[in-house]
Amino acid sequence: MNAIANPKPATTDTVLRVQGISKSFGDNHVLKDISFDMQKGEVVSLLGPSGCGKSTLLRCINWLEEPDAGHIRLNSERMGYAGSGAKMNDTQLSQMRSRIGMVFQHFALWPHMTVLENVMASPVHVQKRDRKEVENEARAVLKRVGLEDKMDMLPSRLSGGQKQRVGIARALAMKPEILLFDEPTSALDPMLVGEVLEVMRDLAADGATMVIVTHEMKFARQVSSRIIFMDSGHIIENRSPEDFFDHPQTDKAKTFLHSVQYK
């Protein structure tokens, strides 16, 4: 397994280093010794059949789930453990988490806040940045995702695609070092998928470091610098999109590509 999990030493450009992560829920071994690195500006698509552990891996990266074994390093700082090796307290954890942007399948916007408030909440209340400055940035970010005219609306008034663009804006406003997307378009009507992918494509072109769990194969091929393919808790392919899509090495990957009707 280790041959396909990045063997190179971490460089100064390594944003994320995942080393030997394992996670079980009771008897269910969901992640088994997962390792990979991400360089600054890389876009990795995380593919695999449903239930293979993709969401769990993303949740381990920002410590929403605590892995049973292994290390996560964000720009060489270890997630979950302070310098002394002791477990991080809640304050330290929350500071670490606010350096990672997460976009959820079902948007998970805070329904009682307006669009602008959703975007400003974490920078103001967690990162404790200056409200005026945050507000200007939030407006800019919302403009970037094409929602400058929806800022004072409540999420319940938005379409799914608009909600997810707010979700992305909320992540961007924290100036995260890495963005995690967990099936950002799976809950959307087919008509609305495009506008969200558009925004993500734009981010990728802008040099954002992103991990994307998605079922949009064409999109994954276009934007990714690398594809990681998982099956029952293992990484079984970790290669360039052209290699992966045109010459899948494993039977599992072939079956998977066949099942999602990727031609």
Partner 1 sequence: MNLTDFQIIYDERETIYQGIEATLSLVFISGVVSVFVGLVLTPLFFSKVSWLRKAVEWLCSAMRCSPFLLFVYVIYFGLPSYGINFDKYTSGLVALIVYHSAYMAIILRSAWVDIPADILEAGTAYGFRGAAMIRRIIGPLLLMRSIPMVGNQWIQIIKDSAYLGIISVVDITAAFNSIQSIYFNPFVCFIVAGLMYWLLCLLIEFIVNGVAHYARERIA
Residues found near ligand ADP in the complex (CB under 6 A): 25, 28, 30, 48, 50-56
Partner from Mg ion, partner 1, ligand ADP, none binding residue 157, C-beta < 5-8 Å depending on class: partner 1
How far, in Å, CA of 223 to CA of 199, rounded?
A: 12
Residue closer to ligand ADP (CB basis): 29 or 40: 29
Interacting residue with partner 1 among 22, 127, 225, 249 (CB under 8 A): 127
CB contact set of 237 (below 8 Å; sequence gap of 6+)? 4, 227, 228, 229, 244, 248, 249, 250, 253
DSSP state of 256: H
> DSSP string spanning 51-80?
TSSHHHHHHHHTTSS--SEEEEEETTEESS
181 near partner 1 (CB under 8 A)? no
121 near partner 1 (CB under 8 A)? yes
Partner from Mg ion, ligand ADP, partner 1, none binding residue 88, C-beta < 5-8 Å depending on class: none
State the number of binding residues for Mg ion (CB under 5 A). 1
55 near Mg ion (CB under 5 A)? yes
Contact 87, 29 (CB under 8 A): no
State the number of binding residues for partner 1 (CB under 8 A). 28
CA-wise closest residue to 210 among 166, 174, 178? 178
- Which span sits near partner 1 by CB under 8 A: 108-116, 131-139, 203-211, 246-254? 108-116
